[in-house]
Chain A
Amino acid sequence: MVADTISAAPVVLGGDVRLVGAPGEPRAERLYRRMRFIRRFEESLLELFERGLLNGTTHACIGQEADAVAILEHLGDDDHVFSNHRCHGHFLARTGDTLGLMAEIMGKPEGVCGGIGGSQHLCAPGFMSNGVQGGIVPNAAGIALAKQLDGGAGVSVVFIGDGTLGEGATYETLNLASLWKLPLVVVLEDNGWAQSTPSSASLAGSIRDRFAAFGIPVFEIDSTDVEEIDAVAERALVQGRTQEGPVAIIIHTYRLCHHSKNDDNRPVDEVAARWDLDPIEIHGRRLDPSARATIDTEVESALRGVIDRALSL
């Protein structure tokens, strides 16, 4: 159970405390702040695209912020995160490098990869992402193997989606990771849709059984409540650090935004219904309204500063 106490925040590689939270901040508030930060970042990004100030493609994670925030609560300096095309939330939760990400997506040399990687191909200490489905899974396992050879306590986390289960590389890696007892943590964000294809049309059998087939313990939750996900993540990471092999965390969630841009033809009422389960709302309701409002304002002004700075580069 998560206690609403002041606890030591995990190490974050820099970042404005108004966005990533300050040491000593009450946990509930920090969790809210970090989700709110990601939400507002993604929304601002999409708005910049609308205004024609950004080009290319991007994959926002609106609706799934709780996953990134909850999982990252339990990772430290010795751990590594490998994410996919929908990586902004994971990146921001890991590094807090708001300007680096914004400038990267803008294609500027001040971006975290000099404008070469863009939205899907990010690299920072303890973080990488790539845009080819499934291909990152064996890479993450290789990083896990490195940690095993190093003899430390670090784990290698890889974020995949329900759609990734179509790629053979995923299963090859689960097999090998389990065989070699690699410290790999697979976080599967099942948002029910792979681009425009619902899971019912792309997934046979059960997601859970796939991991079980390789002898990998599964921690599963169907929720957008950050505190619930956080609890599951804590248990999963404890298991993941026992050096008994990989673990899987399956989070049934929902993407509230388009797959990339202007490509959402999911049933309108389905999407509308899921807005009722907006993670920001679910958790935000727990906060004292004025504390929440303060956080919202701080996030807004901090983000505004970054966007203005980025646009001026």
Chain B
Amino acid sequence: MIAARAIGDALRAALDEDNRVILLGEDLVDPYGGAFKVTRGLSTDFPGRVRSTPISEGTIAGLSAGLALSGYRPIAEIMFGDFLTLCFDQIVNHIAKYEAMYNGKVTCPVIIRTPSGGGRGYGPTHSQSLEKHFLGVPHLRVVAGSLVHDPGSVLCALLAQDSPALIIEHKLLYPLHLMLPASGRIGDDIAAEHVSPDGLPTVSIRPVPREDCSFTVLAYGYQAELARRVLSRLAVEEEIFGELVVPSQISPLDWEPIHDSVSVTRRLLVIEEGAEGFTWGSEVAAHISSHFFGELRCPVAAAASDPTVIPSSKALEAEMLMTSERVEQAIRKVAT
């Protein structure tokens, strides 16, 4: 099943099973059904509960906060992750603070979904991966969709608890088929799923048993898919064996499956699409270096896109973004 359809179905199931779920965002309503068609069909089947808003990202987030404070379960869509900046005040100073600042008297379980990422040549303000600016906001979960996680299970887990969450969906994943672990495998590779106490999964993929893997790659979203393809090819063509660990929730991290892998391979590469510098990779490197001090065979490597604007020209974009070539380069470096 293709990812966009699976996400749409997950939203449908949520609307179906829980009357408190409300969808808000720009251009969600049928027949348009959302900029990436994820919500197609929903406004027709759930009238009044799937609403198109004016172009007011801050208010989409703020309204969601009010709904959540009143006991509803709003799932807002921000059309491009680049526009999350317009929601920053609401997310940081309102949504993520109400429960704690009011000493637990209320909860504010807003879920915000946003298509994000580059690779389509959409240019500097429609291609970014800005999730790095929301990592580490206290009381906020940042979750990333990947082909190896079932969007339905992830959404269910988020709806089963009361804290706010930001879900990053890389737009290049939408037309691709999900690849969920089945009978301990994904395709030809060994796949294991670890579920955190609050229901968020991490999937580990390896071509050969873990003890034969010489390094671990940590990635999410589209980068996880690029890494999976590269690792699969390098395993078969050159016997370069690496284990890929893909968390669904990227902040705060469920460290257990990451530790399990790194404690055996003792080499880690973290890959992300966001701009290099003060990144997810920096945080993982700090934690893993501290936790495994003296046991790692080399420093934790972190690969990210160049810290500059994302050009519209596809060729120029490919020079500065984390592409398949750069993923392979980074993997080869850590493999030797």
Residues of A within 8 A of B (CB): 80, 113-114, 116-117, 121-124, 128, 130, 132, 135-147, 149-150, 156, 168-169, 172-173, 175-176, 179-180
Q: List 22 A-B contacts (CB under 8 A).
A: A113-B102, A114-B103, A117-B102, A123-B101, A123-B103, A124-B105, A128-B69, A128-B102, A128-B106, A135-B93, A135-B94, A138-B66, A139-B66, A140-B66, A141-B62, A146-B67, A146-B71, A146-B72, A156-B66, A168-B58, A175-B54, A176-B59
Chain A contacts for B72, CB-based, 8 A: 146, 149
Cβ-defined contact, A139 with B103, below 8 A: no
Residues of B within 8 A of A130 (CB): 93-94, 97-98
**Is the CB–CB distance between B53 and A176 below 8 Å?**
yes
Q: Which of chain B's residues have a CB closer than 8 A to the CB of A80?
A: 70
- B-side interface residues, number (CB < 8 Å): 33
Count chain A CB atoms within 10 A of each CB in B66, B69, B70 and give the residue with the most. B66
Contact with A along B34-69 (1 / 0, CB 8 A): 000000000000001001011010110111111111
Asked if A145 and B56 make an inter-chain contact with CB atoms under 8 angstroms apart, the answer reads no
- CA A124 to CA B103, docked complex, whole Å: 11
* With A123-B105, A132-B94, A135-B94 as contacts: A176 and B69 at CB distance below 8 Å: no
Q: Tell whether B204 is near chain A: CB-to-CB under 8 Å.
A: no
Report yes or no: B102 in contact with A138, Cβ–Cβ below 8 A.
no
- How distant is B83 from chain A, measured CB to nearest CB, in Å? 13
- Collect the chain B residues with CB atoms within 8 Å of residue A138's CB: 58-59, 61-63, 65-66, 90
Cβ-defined contact, A117 with B63, below 8 A: no
Does A142 contact B67, Cβ atoms closer than 8 Å? yes
Q: Measured between alpha carbons, how far is A261 from B71 in the docked complex, in Å?
A: 37
In the complex, which residues 4-57 of chain B have their Cβ closer than 8 Å to any Cβ of chain A?
A: 22, 48, 51, 53-54, 56
**CB closest residue in chain A, given B108:** A139
Q: Does B89 contact A (CB under 8 A)?
A: yes
B100 close to A (CB within 8 Å):
yes
> What residues on B are CB-neighbors of A113 within 8 Å?
101-103, 105
CB distance from B179 to the nearest CB of A (A): 37
Contact B103 A143 (CB under 8 A): no
Query: 19 additional contacts, CB 8 Å, given A130-B93, A142-B62?
Result: A80-B70, A116-B100, A132-B94, A135-B62, A135-B90, A138-B65, A138-B90, A141-B66, A142-B69, A142-B74, A146-B67, A147-B70, A149-B72, A169-B62, A169-B89, A172-B58, A173-B63, A176-B56, A176-B63
